[in-house]
Structures are given as C-alpha cells and as structure tokens.
Amino acid sequence: MVERLACRPAAERAPMIEFDNVGKTYRTFRSVVSSATHVRALDQLSLVVEPGEVMGIAGPNGAGKSTLISLVLGYLRPTEGTVRIAGLAPRAYVERHGIGYLSELVDVPPRWTVADALERYAVLAGVRDGALPLRVDEIVERLGLDEHRDKPVKALSKGNRQRLGLAQSLLRGERVFVLDEPTHGLDPLWTSRFREIVAALKHPARTILIASHNLEELERLCDRVAILDR
C-alpha cells in the first residue's frame, strides 16, 4: 500500500499537536445530599508534538492520560489554556480531516462480523466507495484477520478483538493517530508486529500519539515519552 502525504520543508512546518498551559477540572457529586466537589485532572500542561514524531504518553492510573486523549479528540474542552491540532481546535480538525483512533477498550457490536465491522467503519472514516473493498482486504491481511473475517466479533479472542480495533484505526491513512494501550491483549508475536506497523506509519507529515502503562514498550516505539504524574 502506497500512502501519499504532502510534506512541507521542516522550516515551514508548525507543531501538529500543541497543549498550551492546559488545565482540566471535573465537577463531581459524592452523593445526592452532598455538595459538588472538583477534581483536577490536568494542571498547567504544555506540550508540543511535531509532524513526523511518535510521542509516548505514560503515567500511573489517574494521572490524566485519558483526559489528555479526550482533549485531543475533541470529546472535552479544557477548563484553561488551549489545545490545537495543526492550528485548529481539536473538534474542528477531526471534522475536517479525521483522526485514526484506537480506544483502550475495543467495543464493537458483538453480532457484526469482522468484515462487516471494517466495512462500516471504513464508510464512517470517509473511504471512497470504489476503494472500500480493496482497503478492507488490505487491512484484514495486514492485521492477520483473514481467517476471522466472517466470524462475529463476540467469537473473537481478546487479542483478535484488539487487532480488529487496530485495523479500524488504520482504514484511512490519517495525518494524526491516537493509540490508547495499543498492545493490550496482544501476544508477543503481534506485539512485535505492532512495532513494525508503527515503523511503517512513520512519515514526516504524520504524528502518532501512543498512551501506555508499558514504559519499556514506549521506549522501543517512540521518539520521546512524556510522563504525567500528580
């Protein structure tokens, strides 16, 4: 598969993802009778991820990784500061260009077959009708799902379901990929193959964000790793 991404000279390139003094506070309620309380999920976060970079995000549970990802995807807005993707607000960028996203928990309707799921997600991703069958076939082969393509999702093992989730994120060659715990549930062989997939995705015009608890794996995959704590 040949991917064509326009690439400007390095001097002309702006940051792909930029967090500028970002804070995010959640308002929660402990009980029906208690007053509201506030949870600070991110505080004064500044981070720049360049085009061509594979960036790792690590940290203990509750450090803010999921909030950071939700901000990048446009699911949440920061309480303070700004988040930009290629100069746009995240939701505007996603609506205009799309993002390849693998969630931590792959949740696909259990009655869909693997092929059905990928065809539906390809339509949602904006893959052209004429290119859709070929693109699905390419991704099925790339992720080793050919023998499972007619199985319902509920019949897949945890590892195969994870590969299906990864497959849907790759359906269109996006400029930005956000992969949340991408090797979760993968056996050693497919963990190794995932590294090859990331290496093949690297491009001067593409940014890849990988969140994981596995620092050793991030060291192998990423150009830099940012660690969130407290």
Q: List all residues 6 or more positions away from 127 whose beta carbon is below 8 Å from its beta carbon.
A: 135, 171, 172
Identify how many contiguous H helices and E strands the chain contains and give both numbers.
Answer: 7, 8
Measured CA to CA in angstroms, residue 42 lies from 9, 26, 32, 62, 73 at distances of 34, 10, 26, 10, 16
Residue 224 parent element (H or E): strand 224-227
The model carries a pTM of: 0.87
With H, G, I as helix, E, B as strand and everything else as coil, classify residue 132: helix
Q: What is the pLDDT along the chain (230 residues), one digit of tens a residue?
A: 435 565 555 445 689 999 999 999 998 766 555 566 888 899 999 999 999 999 999 988 888 899 999 999 999 999 999 999 999 999 999 999 999 999 988 889 999 999 999 999 999 888 888 889 999 999 999 999 999 999 999 999 999 999 999 999 999 889 999 999 999 889 999 999 999 999 999 999 999 999 998 899 999 999 999 999 87
Read off the DSSP letter of residue 219. H
With H, G, I as helix, E, B as strand and everything else as coil, classify residue 179: strand
